[in-house]
Amino acid sequence: MLLQDKVIRIAFYGLLTLLVTENSLMAETNSKAVFVWSEDYKASLGRRHVFPVIKYQQLYHIARKEGALKEEDIIEPEPLKDTGLLLVHTRSYLWRLRLLALTPLGMLNGENPVSRGILKAVRIACGGTYDACNLALKYGIAMNLAGGFHHAFANREEGFCYYNDVAIAIKKLQKEGRINKVMIIDCDVHQGNGTARIFHDDEDVFIFDIYQEDNYPMPKIEVDYAISLNSYDGITDERYLKGLAVLPDLIDKFTPELIIYLAGADPYKEDLLGGFRLTKKGLKKRDEYIIGLAKENKTPICVLLAGGYAQNTDDTLQIHLNTIKVIKGFLSTNGI
């Protein structure tokens, strides 16, 4: 009788241990650290430069302060090596940037000042986009709290962009056999001319770009599906969101294995470099709609910040923070 009790007791504790272990594994599996950020996402472009690089630091700290992000939500990226950069950029271009960075004259390089600090920050941010894409493939959704450098060409810098993180991530993932077909949904107010040129003849990359026609860059470069809107037409939330209605059909026809979404804050009505009239509420609806489409189609989606130059930087930060909250909302409801 005592032996029987002992056997039952051992079986009970064995089952209890198994359940605890399974619950621990489930908790670990359900833990989704899908936001990529680094303390090294910082550099100085000069006191009077219009691009608020400080937003990368401020956004993280505001998100932590408001409880939108926790420490366990964050993954630290690794800087990309030259082998990654060379998948897109020419070797001569990379050397030119390095030489510029060795002299103070690099800070006089027009709208794209060059220093070792700037190149280090951008290289790490590019690594962040690659890591965020990998996390998206694993969990369904991820976000780099930087990135979206869509004006960088293979052989030149442009529009505050030095390395094209979007193109690098795609080329690297394709080379590794992780993905084949990718859709870029570019909602920055400016056309992503660098990305458009890099993938101009690539049938495995579909670019949807909604942008301001009467704005930089000039001329525009043809993409797979463009919605070009003029500021003098008064582009409101309703008009902008109506344009996005083509996306379900485009996704259905192209069937991407990954979506990279540039959630630019610069369509905002008070942006210094944009001419649209979107509100914060409208931009949040844009995020909800596009991320929701990815969910419906069970397509992994990587979200990037892209541009944002509001007169009051707090407005830009709030728009980006809303994007974080939208993603957290989908995660909390097992959204993707």
Q: Structure tokens of 196? A: 């458009």
Judge whether residue 18 has pLDDT over 70: no
pLDDT tens-digit series, residues 21-47: 333 322 333 457 899 999 999 887 766
In order, the DSSP letters of 204-239 are TEEEEEEEESSSSSSS----SEEEEE-GGG---HHH
Sequence-distant (6+) residues with CB within 8 A of 205 are 170, 181, 182, 183, 184, 199
Region 296-312: what's the mean pLDDT? 95
pLDDT tens-digit series, residues 45-66: 766 777 777 899 999 999 999 9
Least confident range from 157-161, 172-176, 319-323: namely: 157-161
Instruction: Please state the CATH superfamily assignment of the domain spanning residues 33-332 in this structure.
Output: Histone deacetylase domain (3.40.800.20)
Element (H, E) at 141: strand 141-144
pLDDT at res. 3? 41
pLDDT at res. 12? 39
Sequence-distant (6+) residues with CB within 8 A of 11 are none
pLDDT at res. 14? 43
Please, which pLDDT band fits residue 332 given cuts at 50, 70 and 90?
A: confident
pLDDT at res. 50? 78
pLDDT tens-digit series, residues 73-115: 999 998 899 999 999 999 999 999 999 999 888 888 878 889 8
Judge whether residue 9 has pLDDT over 80: no
Across all residues in the chain, what is the average pLDDT? 89
Q: Where are the domains of the chain?
A: 1-30, 33-332
pLDDT tens-digit series, residues 107-154: 888 788 898 999 999 999 999 999 999 999 999 999 999 999 999 999
pLDDT at res. 105? 85
pLDDT at res. 8? 37
Judge whether residue 166 has pLDDT over 80: yes
pLDDT at res. 29? 32
pLDDT tens-digit series, residues 174-219: 999 999 999 999 999 999 999 999 999 999 999 999 999 999 999 9
Backbone angles phi, psi at 175, to 5 degrees: -65, -35
Please, which pLDDT band fits residue 334 given cuts at 50, 70 and 90?
A: low
pLDDT at res. 336? 55
pLDDT at res. 46? 66
Please, which pLDDT band fits residue 286 given cuts at 50, 70 and 90?
A: very high
Sequence-distant (6+) residues with CB within 8 A of 152 are 89, 158, 159, 161, 162, 163, 164, 167, 194
Judge whether residue 225 has pLDDT over 70: yes
